């Protein structure tokens, strides 16, 4: 029986798990029910389980015939604060919360991978650390897990993860050597001026006017400071100012995101960002406070691991389409774990336009074609075994 046959034997269980998680979404650091299910399932499989890592994270150690190498397999668990509009029979029963990114799929696949590998633990040439992570959605789950020792005791030699991806159709896999996802920074900017009556603007220092000029000027960073052969994003996503239609306020608040693949490009973006805000606001008599928060590093895949996972994907799914040149400005805090060990993060195509399953991630109608799940299980399980056998790189 092949690994794909075994994954298909678990198909109904995997889908049932996914739908249960989908109906019962939990937000960042509140994945209590999900974590309890994960922990119990791993214990039942005989893994050495640690709970409460980064509040709701779960770690499961599966010891094989050898102690090393150690491979981490990471699966995220959190949902989003979105009201679901899919109309699916397994739609969220929690108002205002939804698995709109696919983490329900990741958790369900992770449990099925654990089940397959636990049944073959005597054949594993190393140790597998299953990492079920909370709070991937911009809330620092990976950073907190790392701070609490997830990559140590035992330390990792490799790490892998995957994402169902509705920008790729069923049967396609994103396996990209090198940069795949962008580094991400959040910014909070306060522009402070002098408020006053809207009928007497000459007596004020208008922070709204300053903010308007700042927002426009920030768009020059990508077009005039970043090499056209590179890429970056500067997006102001929230603007807050004022309380009435005849009062010029004391301050204006801007929040948003910066994205880039290369550290040197991000450095340029951040330097110009600070300069533009400070100097433009200054010319209008306003002061500024600028906060930049690093959310993710770029996801940069190890070439040897990508080559191995490509080989395995084509063994398991011979007619698959392998996409090697895709990149996305989306961020992924899996990147922080990849800084500690060579890693591979693959995209599993999950869209099916014919069934209307092609809404983008974070959309209230987001859903996936679940036929991709057994393939994800088989590829991740076979990949784990092969990495331990071959020690790539």
Pair (249, 199) in one structural domain: yes
Q: How many domains does the chain have?
A: 2
Pair (262, 313) in one structural domain: no
Q: Is the pLDDT at 63 greater than 80, yes or no? A: yes
- Picking from 252, 276, 295, the residue at the C-terminal end of a domain is 295
Enter the pTM of the model.
0.92
Pair (287, 351) in one structural domain: no
In this structure, what CATH number is given to the domain that contains residue 205?
Answer: 3.30.70.360
| 115 band by pLDDT with thresholds 50, 70 and 90 | very high
In this structure, what CATH number is given to the domain that contains residue 339?
Answer: 3.40.630.10
Q: Is the pLDDT at 138 greater than 80, yes or no? A: no
Q: Is the pLDDT at 191 greater than 90, yes or no? A: yes
- Picking from 295, 318, 340, the residue at the C-terminal end of a domain is 295
Pairing of strands 178-181, 247-248: unpaired
Pair (233, 372) in one structural domain: no
Taking all residues of the chain, what is their mean pLDDT, rounded to a whole number?
A: 97
Burial label, 246 (beta-carbon count in 10 A; 0-12, 13-18, 19+): exposed
Beta bridge partners, 70, equal: 127
Please tell me the predicted confidence (pLDDT) of residue 285: 97
Pair (250, 361) in one structural domain: no
Q: Is the pLDDT at 139 greater than 80, yes or no? A: no
Residue 317 labelled as part of a binding site: no
Pair (188, 141) in one structural domain: no
Q: Is 208 in contact with 252 (CB distance < 8 Å)?
A: yes
pLDDT tens by residue, 225-249: 999 999 999 999 999 999 999 999 9
Pair (315, 384) in one structural domain: yes
Q: Is 333 in contact with 143 (CB distance < 8 Å)?
A: yes
- For 215, the token pair is 């927002």
Pair (39, 165) in one structural domain: yes
- Picking from 260, 295, 330, the residue at the C-terminal end of a domain is 295
CA distance 108 to 312: 21
CA distance 11 to 22: 16
- Taking the alpha carbons of 199, 201, 202, 203 in that order, is the dihedral positive or negative? positive
Burial label, 93 (beta-carbon count in 10 A; 0-12, 13-18, 19+): exposed
Residue 101 labelled as part of a binding site: yes
**pLDDT mean over 165-191:** 97
pLDDT tens by residue, 87-111: 999 999 999 999 999 999 999 999 9
Which residues span the domain enclosing 129? 3-181+298-390
Q: Is the pLDDT at 259 greater than 80, yes or no? A: yes
pLDDT > 90 in the chain, percent: 98
Helices (H), 226-321: 263-283, 303-316
Residue 362 labelled as part of a binding site: yes
**pLDDT mean over 125-130:** 98
Beta bridge partners, 212, equal: none
Pair (224, 172) in one structural domain: no
pLDDT tens by residue, 324-350: 999 999 999 999 999 999 999 999 999
What is the radius of gyration, based on Cα positions, of the chain?
23
- Tokens 């974070």, residue located: 362
Pair (113, 144) in one structural domain: yes
Pair (250, 346) in one structural domain: no
Pair (358, 251) in one structural domain: no
């Amino acid at each position: 029986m092949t690994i794909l046959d075994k994954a298909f034997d678990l198909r109904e269980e995997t889908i049932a798990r996914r739908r249960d998680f989908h109906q019962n979404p939990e937000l960042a650091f509140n994945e209590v029910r999900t974590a309890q299910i994960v922990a119990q399932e791993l214990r039942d499989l005989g893994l050495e389980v640690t709970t409460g890592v980064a509040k709701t994270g779960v770690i499961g150690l599966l010891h094989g015939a050898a102690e090393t190498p150690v491979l981490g397999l990471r699966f995220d668990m959190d949902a989003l604060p979105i009201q679901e509009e899919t109309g699916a029979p397994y739609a969220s029963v929690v108002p205002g919360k939804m698995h709109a990114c696919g983490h329900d799929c990741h958790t369900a696949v992770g449990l099925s991978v654990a089940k397959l590998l636990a049944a073959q633990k005597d054949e594993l040439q190393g140790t597998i650390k299953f990492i079920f992570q909370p709070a991937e959605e911009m809330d620092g789950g990976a950073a907190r897990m790392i701070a609490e020792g997830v990559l140590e005791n035992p330390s990792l030699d490799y790490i892998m993860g995957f994402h169902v991806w509705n920008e790729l159709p069923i049967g396609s896999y994103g396996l990209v050597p090198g940069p795949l996802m962008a580094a991400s920074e959040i910014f909070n900017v306060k522009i402070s001026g002098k408020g006053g009556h809207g009928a007497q603007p000459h007596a004020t220092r208008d922070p709204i006017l300053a903010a308007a000029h700042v927002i426009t000027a920030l768009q020059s960073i990508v077009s005039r400071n970043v090499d056209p052969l590179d890429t970056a994003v500067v997006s102001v996503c929230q603007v807050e100012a004022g309380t009435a239609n005849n009062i010029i306020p004391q301050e204006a608040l801007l929040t948003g995101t910066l994205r880039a693949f290369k550290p040197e490009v991000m450095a340029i973006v951040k330097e110009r960002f600070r300069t533009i805000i400070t100097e433009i606001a200054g010319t209008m008599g306003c002061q500024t406070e600028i906060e930049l928060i690093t959310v993710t590093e770029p996801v940069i895949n190890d070439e040897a691991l990508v080559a191995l996972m490509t080989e395995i994907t084509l063994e398991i799914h011979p007619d698959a389409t392998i996409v090697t040149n895709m990149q996305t400005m989306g961020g992924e805090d899996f990147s922080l774990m990849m800084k500690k060990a060579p890693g591979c993060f693959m995209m599993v195509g999950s869209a099916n336009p014919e069934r209307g399953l092609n809404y983008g991630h974070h959309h209230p109608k987001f859903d996936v074609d679940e036929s991709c799940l057994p393939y994800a299980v088989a590829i991740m399980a076979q990949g784990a075994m092969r990495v331990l056998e071959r020690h790539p790189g």
